[in-house]
Amino acid sequence: MIRTDTGWKSYRSDEFQLLIQPMFIPTTMAEVTALGWNRLDIILVTGDTYIDSPFMGISLIGKILIKDGFRVGIIAQPDLNTDKDILRLGPPALFWGVTAGAVDSMVANYTPLKKRRKIDDYTPGHINNRRPDRAVIAYTNLIRRFCKPCSPIILGGIEASLRRMAHYDFWSNKIRRSILFDAKADYLVFGMGHTTIRVLAQALKQKQPVENIPGIAYISGTRKGVELPCFDTVAKNSRAYTDAFTTFYRNTDPVTGQQLCQAHQDRYLVLNPPSPVSTTAQMDEIHDLPYEHDVHPFYKAMGPVRALDTIRFAIPTHYGCYGECRFCAITVHQGRTVQSRSPGSILRQARQFTAHPDFKGNIMDLGGPTANMYGYECPKKLSKGACQDKSCLFPDICHTLRPDHSRYLELLEKLYALPGIKKVFITSGIRYDLILQDKKHGMAFLKKLVKDHVSGQLKVAPEHCEKHVLNHMGKQTIDDLLAFKSAFDKLSADCGKPQFLTYYLMAAHPGCTQADMASLKRFTTDKLRTTPEQVQIFTPTPATYSTLMYHTGRDPFTRTSVFVEKDPVKKQRQKDVVTASRRPSGRKHRPYSRKNIR
């Protein structure tokens, strides 16, 4: 069904494809009029510029809703000072959808040392001057200021998803309310949202109850489900906050998750169980929709967008990650269950690339949060949900998870067989422990990876070398890294390719001291034979166990105290220990000061 100004009309699937292909989602009234629409049902507001790509949640959600028959428009990075942008498309008949974009706005705007970032890869011209702090709240306030009466406002995207309950906020150094209360929105769609938003949109259109839809949060006058410690309590008591977070985290699995609620003064935040994981058919459906793989002309005229270079000719293969690194937000947002596309869907996208006038034959990435998790999952998790008492990969790979790289290998072979495909790079990072654990296909995958799919360097993320720090991170020990490096170096030499590994490392994670970073420096020098460049300072983002440790100073599993470095000068010093090259003899070390931090 597709909605026209004279009512709802049915189209055959081939007619529907002709109807919307090729097409950007309208962002100006001229485009709306050209489509024969006199009013939009839904307007999506985002903190990124509008890139029409399946990597961009706003585009994917918009295309899904259009397929379901709704008239959808997008407003990207609206001016907060006037109504010229936010009212450009008029008010929507059904609802507003608001997201900060592909990145939490506070992470996008500030470094881990809380210095303002000058560059934004998702803004035309690269200058970070279009995305407001706490963008979800800012855009919701903008809508309510200028649009009266106001259709319901639905929050979505990673900023809203991670802040759906009372949470510790690093930038204000306090516990903040659920973002639903601070934004004064009507509903919040958490997780990837592509299934939930379809159900919610249809319910709102048909004026049906929405309170039991999985994957949404809302405000209620009555308690429902399992009650978490209230906002006032968790804001003052770190033990209560730990209890609340632990219960919340244990209910993020779609199979076993229960409805939760949390009192905020005289009202309740209600968190429904997560939306069920997507089937392969559902993953194919949303990625087979036609995308332009370009910046909308309205925004393209404002300047180049760096993010486009990375995602334009890349192919997403799956959602989710069963790694559960404790500093990573993927677990709470995308989930612990890997949801993969079919090879046929991926090949169809590659064929579309070959017809694009700017495609040079190189697929720049083929992967997901972790590339080599494509195509397999734990059968027990799929039927009974994620285990509460252990992780899939930490401290060791669970015996019921059987890593299998055969489907990924077959996919790579099929892609290379397509006319017009010259190279397929894998740049989204891999888990080397999974390769080593796959005794049947792991080494064959590594050989092919080294021979055909590395663009000079391959990303891996050991993060640290000290066991107690890795334990707090939920990461494996370095033994697998050294075994993988040995195999990678040998295979690269056998191929006659000067390739190397790029190591992502982290400073100032809870439990990490200056002495631990000195140990990491010795390890990278003596064992890895490199001076690392990819060293990041830990950023406490909402809804992770590492952030919980940062706030409380305690390990949430043992309840024992954990050292936490909170001084920005000392955080920078931890990073500098690892990244510093050897200084010439006699050169004096420049003293640290806040003024010298970059």
Instruction: State the virtual CA torsion across 17, 18, 21, 25 in degrees, nearest 10.
Output: -90
Q: Residue 174 is encoded by which pair of tokens?
A: 């306090």
Handedness of CA 304, 100, 118, 566 (dihedral sign): negative
Between CA 112 and CA 128 the distance in angstroms is: 16
Residue type, 505: L
328 is known to lie in a ligand binding site: yes
Between CA 328 and CA 546 the distance in angstroms is: 8
- DSSP letters along 153-192, please? EEE-HHHHHHTSSSEEETTTTEEE--HHHHHT-SEEE-SS
Q: What is the DSSP letter of 559?
A: -
362 three-state secondary structure = strand
Q: What is the DSSP letter of 298?
A: H
Q: Which of 278, 284, 297, 285 has the alpha carbon at shortest distance from 52? A: 297
Half-sphere exposure of 61 (CA within 13 A, CB side): 34
Strands 7-9 and 2-4: antiparallel
Spatial contact of 460 and 503, defined as CB atoms under 8 Å apart: yes
Query: Residue 296 to residues 75, 85, 357: CA-CA distances in angstroms?
Result: 11, 15, 17
Spatial contact of 475 and 565, defined as CB atoms under 8 Å apart: no
261 is known to lie in a ligand binding site: no
Length of the chain: 598
Between CA 336 and CA 568 the distance in angstroms is: 32
Q: Which of 575, 28, 21, 592 has the alpha carbon at shortest distance from 298? A: 28
Backbone φ and ψ for 366, nearest 5 degrees, come out as: -135, 100
321 is known to lie in a ligand binding site: yes
Between CA 79 and CA 382 the distance in angstroms is: 44
Residue with tokens 């992967």: 367
Between CA 315 and CA 325 the distance in angstroms is: 24
End-to-end CA distance of the chain: 54
**Binding-site residues from annotation for [4Fe-4S] cluster:** 321, 325, 328
**Binding-site residues from annotation:** 321, 325, 328
